[in-house]
Structure 1
Amino acid sequence: MADISPIDLQKALKGAQYPASRDDLVELARGNSGDGSLVDKLSDAPTDRFDGPDDVQKAVFGNQ
């Protein structure tokens, strides 16, 4: 599996409006042709709501 970069995440979530639900961001990422593994990681995020891009990045990438 290819590594997911923060730039890939930004591209997948282009046009996101915050605060946003996890489901809304997953749908947006799919609509923006986001990488399947990125969409999976976002789907599995431990939170249901994100207040901004930093929250999403922390959920997807953890403390990397």
Structure 2
Amino acid sequence: MADPSPIDIQKALGGMEYPASKEEIVQHAKDKGADDAVLETLGNLPDREFDSPTDVNKEASK
């Protein structure tokens, strides 16, 4: 499965309030109907709090 683009990730996280935990981020993306590639990428994030959408994208692109 191809990695989602940072734009796809940010679309899934639109309206997310930060700081947010990994679990909150994944649940928000699910609620917004994110596709499987985005959910898989977010599910692989480290288990910590994220301070911003940029913070999420930095970790997701590692």
Instruction: Please tell me the TM-score bracket, short chain as reference.
Output: 0.7 to 0.9
Kindly provide the amino acid, as one letter, of the partner of residue 25 in structure 2. L
- Scaled by the length of structure 2, the TM-score of the pair is 0.88
> Which blocks of at least 5 consecutive residues in structure 2 are unaligned?
none
> Which blocks of at least 5 consecutive residues in structure 1 are unaligned?
none
Matched residue, 2:17: 17
Matched residue count: 62
RMSD of the TM alignment (CA)? 1.2
Q: CA deviation at 1:35?
A: 1.5
Higher relative contact order (CA 8 A, sep 6+): 2
Q: Deviations over 1:6-27 (max 9, x none)?
A: 1101110011000001000100
Matched residue, 1:39: 39
Q: Residues 42 and 59 of structure 1 are in contact (CA less than 8 Å); yes or no, is this contact kept in structure 2?
A: no
Matched, 1:55 2:46: no
- Scaled by the length of structure 1, the TM-score of the pair is 0.85
Q: CA deviation at 1:2?
A: 3.4
Q: Percent identity?
A: 44
